[in-house]
Chains A and B, each alone.
Chain A
């Protein structure tokens, strides 16, 4: 189980057969992000389009997955329908631990099934089942059918797509175990293009541990730090939605398509309000004692005679920002209803909400009309916005099909590009300023998690390009190390390099522990090389005008600083992609 190589399962959906393979490179790339890039370089087709059947879908875990708490994430890598380039998306749930217990460092899916299918894999089985009856089904319903068909309650992970994924939408997510997602950059569309409705991973193997007591002792110490100190409290108390009020106060919350950055009506959708009014309970990813997943509820009356149904809906800062603040929906139950619709459709809630915010402003400015949107769109009109999310998920007409490829693409066709809140992809929920905007616009995943630009904006008043640039590169390097292990990034304050080294050593990865810095830099380069090889040119990324029009607590945005940082960061990314590893130089 603790291996000096990688053990991967490569499945060809066209034949329904798989192959267990051994890959070298453990000490060089660790796993997760590093392993995914290594696998794409080996099996990917950088020059072929994203929906070429031979393009691989990669699910990779790391050397610490399952062995330590919060080492609970899986890295999904694929060529993205959103930008037709190499992409990563990360999710938790049970996927990572299930892969570990299935005895795999990575699952690689290639080929296209002749008919809609699902894949089931475990420590001692591999099956591709024809499943035409699941096609068209909403995400929750697919989960229910598969739970009935595949045994292993509690010890399996069910990854599935909704109607959006079947439409090859650039904003289709892969739902993981109901409440988690490989959200961004259209991983669900990549699955749909393979006729693959779902993947069930059964964690049904068990493995020996290192001899002696050192490993168990270290585990207990880490567990203690994570549960008995205040370090993780913000994640399980109010959770990430604590940011809503904080950012609103700072004038750094994107509201109504970023026309505003602070507004009094946001008080209806703060983390405090969600917790007091809607929170039912928390759940956790497997192997994480923190339990950051917050479940609220939607309760709907469907008959005059007091007949109701209810559903549990997970919420976080990003969904609340995307379908709440950005759409001007300021009632927490209404927000949960909109999140729930994106869940049914299998849409990435962030991309969908922000794209719809652009459409809503475009309607306001009469750039598009009901002819395109089918229903009238207005900020705050939750009912019609919910219908619009359904149209976006099902690809109801040409307009919604184009919007599902990104607000930028829709704006290029209809106009209104100045206010399409796109930073590489639809923006994340931080209007903190120049460093965050550049970080997301150019960053590897176009995610607020590539590097903490939003945090840098809040901590630094000066506009020092070198300092900001060094931060972006160094912070990315640190995060790449964690996503190669694969840690939840919420644990980044706990898993500092010394502790990571101790963890690796306790499992026998002494060489890796001693060369973590080199490993991180190598993976950082490898990821950029892989992305650049699929056509990315960071120098061409534009930051729409709307971002330059905002005012935060620091005052108006500094356009000169933004532009200078954008150019320098683009240059640095290109250099990183061209750098040779020390051993090759």
Chain B
């Protein structure tokens, strides 16, 4: 009979859980917006906390990969619960723009950012930037032995030494850039070459590359610069043996990616959503990004990065523009053709 009572206790507990949850789910008064966040959670979290404090507007954050979020928005259509989307790279925003799902950003907000980092029609705004670099383990490869151009990544002498993340959204702009400069056929050849060089070192994301290079599982890999800084912050500088190296100035592999945000046309809280955009490119918002664990370059409001990062104006990226980077579909098609996706 003891067991029977136990079963009843369980049922009672479950019931209690239901009723408690029902009480908890009723939200408080005041305005609120929903943010689909593809940026790193810690950074967004600091931005949101500060925004809520300053405006009294509550922000509900939904975290996931930017592609998933962008496509959820497409699927949801005019019923989308999202008011704002914030991504790590421009292609997801360009994709939503091409579907006509984004609202125009307030001109006064757009004025905070150099226009080359915004969507040309003004449907989304650039918030921060990052560049692609090589991360390498000095005990496995000397800096002088590293490739200096993106095409050299496919050189057979790097067989077994290279790592990259074919499925990572940060990698697509590099593929787009190579195809833009050398043509699709050459890009496909190049992809075949780097696939052969990477062998088993094709990882799911940049974090894994940074980690595996640091631990000596592979000699070097292609990542965005801030992963290395983040890793040093997370693990402590003494635990990080890996170093970073830049591609030759203006090389097609040296790509500057813009992280941006947009308000959805379907949003029923346009004013509050626009306020959020204005906030993240304001001086206060950009300062938060500088001091967050993201280590991305703020692009608006004249805020500069602090040490140890290479100053933004000393970077020498390739001249490919945001419309040329597009929505990433060319890169995805090439990656599929090469059997990498």
Please indicate whether A and B come from the same complex rather than being unrelated chains.
Answer: no
